[in-house]
Amino acid sequence: MKKFITVLSALAVCLGAAAAVNAASDMRLTIGVNKAVVDGAEKELDSAPVIINSRTMVPLRFVAENFGFNVEWSEKDQMVTIKDNGNTGDPTAVRLGSDLWIAGLSEEVERTDVSYRNRYGIELAGELYTPKGLDRSEKNAAVVIGAPYGGVKEQGPCVYANELAKRGFVVLTFDPSFNGESGGEPRHVSSPDIFTEDFSAGVDYLGTLGYVDREKIGAIGICGSGGFALSAAQTDTRIKAVITASLVDISGNSASLSAEERQAVLDDLAAQRWEDVDNGTPEYIPTFPEETAEAVPEGLDPMSEEFYTFYGLERGHHPRARGGFTTTSEAAFMNYSLLGHLDTISPRPVMMIAGENAMSKGISDMVYEQLGSNKEFVTVPGANHIDLYDDAEKIPFDEIDEFLKTNLN
């Protein structure tokens, strides 16, 4: 019922109590029944409420219109827009997207909404993938998967989770703190420490499941989450194996700056903090549009153009993943080394995966050299950086499966 209740709560806020003319004040729906009771009167439904994969699905247009709202559907963006019809004079619009997973769910897999808190008390929104028919009397191997930096669980992680659950693993995906559907204020903050902690919090959650073996939990980090997964493994020995795909070390972005350049960046960030104080909110400038773009903007550098083909276009666009973080988040990464203790992960194994044509491949090469002896490197022929986000034909799932089953045994 969570998402259903969230929709009704949002409608109630915009409606502004029950003062709107011709708007219902009470509605009752029953699973599997094609009738609703609205303010005591029975009305026919085009489709009955149903429960699919532990989610309650209701006829949204019927609900919204009976509560006094106009409903519009955009086929292009796969988005529902719900607006006040003018009865209250309130111009607020509730814009609700579908979950917009970029890949379909296998008939062999079940996906369930979950939530749990990290050690900072921030509630994380996650999705648990399990193979249908999972033997819950047994202790099973599990994996926690992090999204690319700026991404959400409905993007790359859902591709990996769906495939690994088919292969018998219990898999947890999540939105990082302050982002996506997870809690934390202000929104769109980035933190090397907290994003690292989010992986350990995922291990916490998996360990509370009676059918998960606490000695068989691994971590997968895609893009920037690869750095957070490795960072977590440096201190959290409960993580028994790590896989990175298209690794990016966000804390290493400033490593090439000269002392003068670094000082200039810090001075700019200090000035921005004063602006944030005066404005009462931190500056956040999204990188990608709220709605799916038709084409990549001209003038982008090659790496930015590649990212835009995923995050900005239909391939991977998601309204909760617009890229970028609060401007002053950058300062934390200039004062924090995510990968300062890579040698301490050994003898626990690490697999690194990089595309043959990825502009980021050099990062994986460099980190691989710093790891201990128990490591593997997989180069994917013909793949670029973002191919390892979602291209199930290129992501080496057979090698991932073998690595996890061998090292979480």
Residue 38 domain-assigned?
A: yes
Q: How confident is the model at residue 189 (pLDDT cuts 50, 70, 90)?
A: very high
Last residue of a domain, one of 97, 132, 161: 97
Range of the domain at 41: 2-97
Report the pLDDT value the prediction gives residue 99, as an integer from 0 to 100. Answer: 57
**pLDDT at residue 13, rounded to an integer:** 42
For the segment 92-110, what is each residue's pLDDT rounded down to a tens digit?
A: 333 344 458 999 999 999 9
Per-residue confidence band for 52, with pLDDT thresholds at 50, 70 and 90: low
> Do 134 and 90 share a domain, yes or no?
no
166 and 228 share a domain?
A: yes
Question: Amino acid identity of 344?
Answer: T
Among residues 40, 65, 97, the one where a domain terminates is: 97
What are the pLDDT digits (tens) for 226-274? 999 999 999 999 999 999 999 999 999 888 899 999 999 999 999 999 9
Instruction: Determine the Cα–Cα distance for residues 372 and 226; give it in Å rounded to an integer.
Output: 17
Which sign does the torsion angle of CA 124, 129, 133, 137 carry?
negative
Name the pLDDT band for 178 (thresholds 50, 70, 90).
very high
Q: What pLDDT is stored for residue 89 in this prediction?
A: 41
pLDDT band, very low/low/confident/very high, at 83 (cuts 50, 70, 90): low
Same domain, 119 and 207: yes
In the prediction, which pLDDT does 1 show? 43
Whether 60 and 156 share a structural domain = no
Q: Where a domain ends, among 97, 123, 151?
A: 97
20 within 8 A of 87, measured Cβ to Cβ: yes
Mean pLDDT, to the nearest integer, of 70-85?
63
Mean pLDDT value of segment 161-181: 98
pLDDT at 19: 39
Average pLDDT, the chain: 89
In a domain, 385, yes or no: yes
Q: What pLDDT, on a 0 to 100 scale, did the predictor assign at position 87?
A: 47
> What DSSP designation does 104 have?
P
Q: Is the pLDDT of residue 4 over 50?
A: no
What is the value of pTM for the model shown?
0.79
User: How large is the average pLDDT for residues 18-24?
Assistant: 53
Residue 258 lies in a domain: no
In tens, the pLDDT along 362-386 reads 999 999 999 999 999 999 999 999 9
A 10 A CB-CB count for 48 gives 16
Instruction: Give percent of the chain above pLDDT 90.
Output: 74
**Residue 392 in domain:** yes
CA 208, CA 126: separation in Å to the nearest integer? 14
Per-residue pLDDT of 136-146, as tens digits, reads 999 999 999 99
Q: Count the domains in the chain.
A: 2
CA distances from 150 to 176, 193, 267 (A): 9, 16, 25
Q: Per the structure block, which two tokens stand in for 170?
A: 């219990």
How many Å apart are CA 259 and CA 249, to the nearest integer? Answer: 20
Residue bearing the bigger pLDDT, 393 or 93: 393
Query: 266 in a domain, yes or no?
Result: no
The answer to whether residue 263 sits within a structural domain is: no
- The pLDDT confidence band at residue 173, using thresholds 50, 70 and 90, is very high
Asked if residue 177 and residue 91 are part of one domain, the reply reads no
Taking each helix axis from N to C terminus, what angle separates 397-407 and 156-166, rounded to the nearest 10 degrees? 60
What is the rounded (10 degree) CA torsion for 198, 396, 247, 200? Answer: 20
For residue 17, give the CATH number of its domain.
3.30.457
Q: Are residues 6 and 133 in the same domain?
A: no
Residue 304 pLDDT exceeds 70? yes
Q: Where does the pLDDT of residue 118 fall: very low under 50, low under 70, confident under 90, or very high at 90 and above?
A: very high
pLDDT at residue 66 is higher than 60? yes
Question: Do residues 134 and 140 touch, judged by C-beta distance below 8 A?
Answer: yes
Q: Measure the CA dihedral 54/56/57/58, to 10°.
A: 170
**Which range, of 31-35, 72-76, 257-261, averages the lowest pLDDT?**
72-76
Residues 30 and 152 both lie in one domain: no
Reading the block at residue 124, the tokens are 């994380």
